[in-house]
Chains A and B, each alone.
Chain A
Amino acid sequence: MGISRRDFLRTVAIGGTTLLAGDVRAEHAARLNCDKTFGVLVDTGVCIGCRKCEWACSKKNFNPEADPVFFDDKNVFKDHRRPNALAYTVVNEFRGPEPGSHPFTMKVQCMHCNDPACVSACIVGALKKCEFGPVTYDASKCIGCRYCMVACPFQIPAYEYFNAFDPQVRKCSFCYDRIVEERKRPACVEVCPSEALTFGTRRELIDMAHSHRFQIYRASGPARSAGDQCERDNTARDLQAVCSPLDALRAFGSGNDGIKREGREKKGAS
């Protein structure tokens, strides 16, 4: 096909749908200030799967009295868990494709995308990408349509279905109050004993991803150019993939069913 998917979509849009959207992605990319936007670099190579980040997150967001012993249980790794309305981050264990390979652990949580699908989907602007990086949620605006949950490609936003009168969308806030108001690191980063999590500006993290420590992984991992990640329009996923020994998020996208996915192919190639 001579025209890209986005061009095609836009043509269709002119045919009778929303004209409001415009080229939002370009706007986002232009607005992204790498010295101001915070991120977390996840080094799954040194993650020991201690689940302390889960404990810290629970303490910060749900129960200040949370018992650390409860989070020591490694049996949870039998299952690949997902974040839910009562846990914003969970650690899962993965194994490489070859038999007997060493397992590695990785936390999963909101990616705070640079161009978040949930934010573009939200009917009332309850979800916002703030200039410091966090994607935040304002319950007072939310109407509870759950379109953000449909839109999120990482299946992150969770819903308080059990709450009949005041249900909220629940997901990691990147400890917005801690990093923006208290100038501290997110709770999970602060507690991490193995320095698997590094908090910093996007520019610092990208420089770090290019450093020696991470080059080792890149050599064994899938070929993927970090490029100038900073100025490019991408999600935090790319940043994380640079430093993970396996493309642990390969679950994203169903893969080899022989169907053309022009958009995705292009993203991979560029």
Chain B
Amino acid sequence: MSSNDHHLPTPIKMKYFTPGTKIIFAVMVAGIGAYIYRLIFGLQAATNLNDQYPWGIWIGIDVASGVALAAGGFTSALLADVFHKEKYHVIVRPALLTAMLGYTFVVIGLLADLGRYYNVWHPMLPSMWQGNSVLFEVGICVMIYLNILYIEFLPIVAERFKGRVNLPGALARLNGFFESILSVADRTLGRFISLFIIAGVTLSCLHQSSLGTLMVIAESKMSHLWWTPISPLLFLVSAIAVGYPMVIFESIIASRSFGLKPEMHVLSSLAGYTPVLLGIYLALKIGDINTREAWPLVFAGNTQSLLWILEIAMGVVIPLVMLLFHRIRHSVGGLFTAATLVVLGVVLNRINVFLVAYTPLYGKTSYFPSIFEIMLTVGLIAALVLVYRAIVMIFPVISVPAAER
């Protein structure tokens, strides 16, 4: 922290509701409406899922893309806390918050998709553990990692509220209880936090790759543009590659929204890693298509081939080339554009793998999400933005230069 004394994490002080926030709030309310509709009337009424298409955008976007975009949490912890690149400490807290909220909303979205959501805790019972299931690996990892993220966030809560817990009204009698939790956390966590950080990085690598293994079992139903035995490796590498662009993406948006200057000196050098990571990913993607001799599919000219080309060109090649230029890395607009492209590319990849590539054997129609599915997905993103905004106003997450505090 020493090198950044003039940049200390501080709660942002500004009005919560702006015209933009009100619009996002309305989108969130619509999403809550869709959620309630699904809970009352069931999946058939709320979604376009059927026996041929058991998974829709709630899995492809809410879960798979959500988990991928939350990768900023573990990749920045890796950089700052494990490799001790001290100058990146300013991004750790915002990235941690995104990961924590991202995973929380992944679980909320997943609950909407599960037919028997009230049984979601079953994978925790050793009697129901199913070690052959990739989904079990994903489920148990996400569950543990979510808790680790909350633990990693506890010191920030302690920093803000230790000795200052003052709940209103009837909750006041719990003040002492919360106070003692915070002081225990503050005293002990400092010693063990590195363990949690390393566990978090490990668990992330595990389930980021396992998400890619999920569709490997459905070989006969998958387009061989995306069906590949190295799918787990591709998912892991793309998750690591999207980590920093996601941090850059949200950091620039947050600075804009809170009227701060983007921390370009940190973000630009962070972006220096991205071409390398994207290059590895691109080499794996091309090598995979080459090894499986799937080039005819790439040039088939159908929707799937066009989406594959779009995914690679827009999400990998263009940002890779852009970020090679010093000038683009150091301009807010250029950096933001490149980071956004990487983020969109990874989202498109997850949608492609889970939805576009999936061509059921006896499907007579194709799947397109219903209005409720779209409302719920968009509503979850809106809710995430609103909770993020609230948390950075309450807790010291975003680093603010001393002059602007």
Chain A residues with CB under 8 Å of chain B are 1, 5, 8-9, 12-13, 15-18, 20-21, 24, 80, 82, 84-85, 117, 119-125, 141-147, 149-151, 153-155, 157-168, 251-254, 257-261, 263
A61–B102 alpha-carbon span in the complex (Å): 43
A256–B307 alpha-carbon span in the complex (Å): 22
Q: Give residues 35-70 of B contacting A (CB, 8 Å).
A: 39-45, 47, 49-52, 54-55
Q: A121-B134, A259-B297, A260-B293 are in contact. Are A15 and B233 (CB under 8 A)?
A: yes
B41 lies within 8 A of A164 (CB)? yes
Q: A120-B132, A161-B43, A162-B42 are in contact. Are A155 and B52 (CB under 8 A)?
A: yes
A-B contacts, 20 of them at CB < 8 A, read: A17-B210, A18-B134, A119-B132, A123-B130, A123-B139, A125-B129, A143-B115, A143-B116, A143-B120, A146-B55, A153-B220, A155-B51, A161-B43, A161-B50, A162-B42, A164-B40, A165-B42, A253-B220, A258-B293, A259-B293
> A254 — nearest CB in chain B belongs to which residue?
B220
Q: Is B168 an interface residue (CB 8 A)?
A: no
Q: Which residues of B contact A263 (CB under 8 A)?
A: 219
Shortest distance from the beta carbon of B387 to any chain A beta carbon, whole Å: 26
Chain B residues with CB under 8 Å of chain A are 39-45, 47, 49-52, 54-55, 113-117, 119-120, 122-123, 128-137, 139, 205-206, 209-210, 213-221, 224, 229-230, 232-233, 236, 291-294, 296-297, 358, 360-362
Q: A120-B217, A259-B224, A260-B293 are in contact. List 16 more A-B contacts (CB 8 A).
A: A12-B229, A15-B209, A121-B217, A122-B130, A146-B55, A150-B215, A150-B358, A154-B361, A155-B360, A158-B51, A159-B43, A159-B51, A161-B47, A161-B49, A164-B43, A167-B116
Q: Which residues of B contact A166 (CB under 8 A)?
A: 116
A254–B269 alpha-carbon span in the complex (Å): 47
> B227 — nearest CB in chain A belongs to which residue?
A259
B232 lies within 8 A of A16 (CB)? yes
Q: Which residues of A contact B119 (CB under 8 A)?
A: 124, 141-144
Interface of A is mostly: loop
B114 lies within 8 A of A143 (CB)? yes
B296 lies within 8 A of A164 (CB)? no
Shortest distance from the beta carbon of A82 to any chain B beta carbon, whole Å: 5
A150 lies within 8 A of B233 (CB)? no
Q: Which residues of B contact A85 (CB under 8 A)?
A: 51
6 cross-chain pairs, A with B, having the tightest CB-CB distances, nearest first: A144-B115, A164-B42, A20-B131, A161-B44, A146-B54, A149-B54
B137 lies within 8 A of A17 (CB)? yes
A263–B228 alpha-carbon span in the complex (Å): 12
A121 lies within 8 A of B133 (CB)? yes
A124 lies within 8 A of B218 (CB)? no
Q: Which residues of A contact B117 (CB under 8 A)?
A: 143-144
Q: Which of A12, A21, A144, A150 contacts B232 (CB 8 A)?
A: A12
A167 lies within 8 A of B42 (CB)? yes
Shortest distance from the beta carbon of A147 to any chain B beta carbon, whole Å: 5
Q: Which of B120, B206, B218, B294 contacts A16 (CB 8 A)?
A: B206
Q: Which of B54, B220, B296 contacts A258 (CB 8 A)?
A: B296
> A253 — nearest CB in chain B belongs to which residue?
B220
Scoring B133, B220, B361 by chain A CB atoms within 10 A of each residue's CB, the highest score goes to B133
A163 lies within 8 A of B133 (CB)? no
B55 lies within 8 A of A17 (CB)? no
B216 lies within 8 A of A9 (CB)? yes
Q: Which residues of B contact A165 (CB under 8 A)?
A: 42
Q: Which of A5, A147, A168 contacts B214 (CB 8 A)?
A: A147
> A169 — nearest CB in chain B belongs to which residue?
B115
Q: A15-B233, A123-B130, A161-B43 are in contact. Are A259 and B220 (CB under 8 A)?
A: no
Shortest distance from the beta carbon of A223 to any chain B beta carbon, whole Å: 22
Shortest distance from the beta carbon of B229 to any chain A beta carbon, whole Å: 5
B232 lies within 8 A of A122 (CB)? no
Shortest distance from the beta carbon of B196 to any chain A beta carbon, whole Å: 20
Q: Which residues of A contact B291 (CB under 8 A)?
A: 1
A125–B216 alpha-carbon span in the complex (Å): 19
> A145 — nearest CB in chain B belongs to which residue?
B114
A167 lies within 8 A of B43 (CB)? yes
A76–B54 alpha-carbon span in the complex (Å): 25
Q: Which residues of B contact A20 (CB under 8 A)?
A: 131-132, 137
> A165 — nearest CB in chain B belongs to which residue?
B42
Q: Which residues of A contact B114 (CB under 8 A)?
A: 143-145
A125 lies within 8 A of B128 (CB)? yes
B54 lies within 8 A of A251 (CB)? no
A8–B362 alpha-carbon span in the complex (Å): 30
A159 lies within 8 A of B123 (CB)? no
